[in-house]
Amino acid sequence: MIAAAFEYELAGSVDEAVAMLGGDEDAKLLAGGHSLIPAMRLRFSRPSLLVDIGRLDDLRYVHENGDRIAIGALTRHAELVRDPVLAQHCALLAEAAALIGDPQVRHRGTIGGSVAHGDPASDLGTILLTLDAELVARGADGERTIRAAEFFTGPFENALGHQEVLTEIRVPRAAGTYLKHVRRAHDWATVGVAAARVDGRVQVGLTSMGTTPLRARTVEEALASGASPADAAAHAADGTMPPTDVSASSEYRAHLARVLVRRALERL
Amino acid sequence: MTRIALTVNGSRCDADVEPRQLLAYLLRDQLGLKGTNVGCDTTSCGACTVLLDGESVKSCTVFAVQADGCEVTTVEGISQGRELHPVQQAFHELHALQCGYCTPGFVMATISLLKENPNPSEEEIRLGLEGNLCRCTGYHNIVRAVQAAARAGA
């Protein structure tokens, strides 16, 4: 299908994008477009104005910044996959990026776009939540930092204001793994599981087990109290309400979560 | 309408496009480059794969305005006169196609894959082409063709 008509403006800077967003309450940001364009083509999304930030190459970077790794919001999935800093200090983020879509999608899709789109089946949101990442947003009133735990507010919803642009994502150095169960190549996660050791603590996150990325808190508490991976993993679906859809039933997702959490913990 | 200028297969192209115009349809309908096929139209099948600044993309999921100032290569732009590109030659020799509809996308995805990984294993080839679907006959001969193209230094 063809997207509904819209106006288009190319932003030359973040501040310019912020100003452009301010002029139209139905405006949306366009980064790599690999979540937004399909949604627009299905007319699930009908912005009146697209503010294209896709050329802001100064937001494409990964570098060490104190005890954190700073990632520019427009860094593409393919760049995350081959980044040497992530490979050394936060390999599970690169591992998860390598499982997104297919090579063509990874050449265009960006970490900021994926996270801001907020699909509960997307992989990177789970990684950020698991790692207690910080998300930096710039708006008309300046810059603020949002904790991942407060960022994901609902399906396709987040804590960004209309005029805010996500500019940077900060993650800690962490060892971990991401396991993703899919029914076929380049599919969304039926269930995804992240497990990471952050500051000596094991933290576990879940994809496609609810309306946002989730933390498996009961699993984390069990591990902290000395439970074995297998015993802790039995709690993977506690407190979740996984959806039933064409990929899987709610019960099957709960089963997958328990199996994948056990495997992820055993790999840590 | 938005005025854009891009380089397609080495030639500069100026075009007036609606912002919602997709790159695939700019190439096919305005520039007459029908080698880029549109299959699923939903970012799944990869038939519309072209190179954008040297990297494979699905042109049904890129607005033409996003390609303003960029270099686009389609299947029409890879042969040297009548001499096929080594990837095309390998697909031809190893019968890596049946109906041919998916082939331009596979060829462009393969060129991008071999640029990033000149000597891929069989598994890397299968994963590297996971964004392209063949509905006729399957992938074995396609994988063999990619291996042959890699050996030929494509």
Looking at A208-259, which runs of residues are DSSP E strands?
214-215
Strand ranges in chain A using DSSP code E only, listed in sequence order: 7-10, 27-30, 49-52, 62-65, 68-72, 134-139, 142-147, 152-154, 157-158, 165-172, 175-181, 191-198, 201-207, 214-215
Phi first, then psi, for residue A267 (nearest 5°) are -85, -15
> Is A182 near chain B, with CB under 8 Å?
no
pLDDT tens string for chain B (154 positions)?
Answer: 999 999 999 999 999 999 999 999 999 999 999 999 999 989 999 999 999 999 999 999 999 999 999 999 999 999 999 999 999 999 999 999 999 999 999 999 999 999 999 999 999 999 999 999 999 988 999 999 999 999 998 7
CB contact under 8 A, A33 and B61: yes
Residue B18: which residues within 8 A CB-CB, separation 6 or more? A5, B1, B2
- Chain A contact for B56 (CB, 8 A cutoff): yes
Cα distances (Å, whole numbers) of residue B25 to B17, B36, B63, B75, B103: 10, 9, 9, 15, 18
Give all domains of chain A, ordered by start, each with its CATH number.
7-52 (3.30.43.10), 58-172 (3.30.465.10), 175-267 (3.30.390.50)
Q: Are B141 and B92 in contact (CB under 8 A)?
A: no
pTM of model > 0.90: yes
Residues of B in contact with A52 (CB under 8 A): 65-66
Q: Is A246 on the interface with B (CB under 8 A)?
A: no
Residue A11 to residue A19: CA distance in whole angstroms = 9
Q: Go through the domains of chain B in sequence order and give each one's CATH number.
A: 2-75 (3.10.20.30), 86-151 (1.10.150.120)
**Nearest-angstrom CA–CA distance, B149 and A258:** 43
Element (H, E) at B104: helix B103-116
Respond yes or no on whether ipTM tops 0.90. Answer: yes
Which chain A residues touch B130 with a CB distance below 8 Å?
102-103, 185-186
Which structure tokens are listed for A192?
Answer: 């995804």
Distance CA(B152)–CA(B154), nearest Å, equals 6
C-beta atoms of B20 and A3 within 8 A: yes
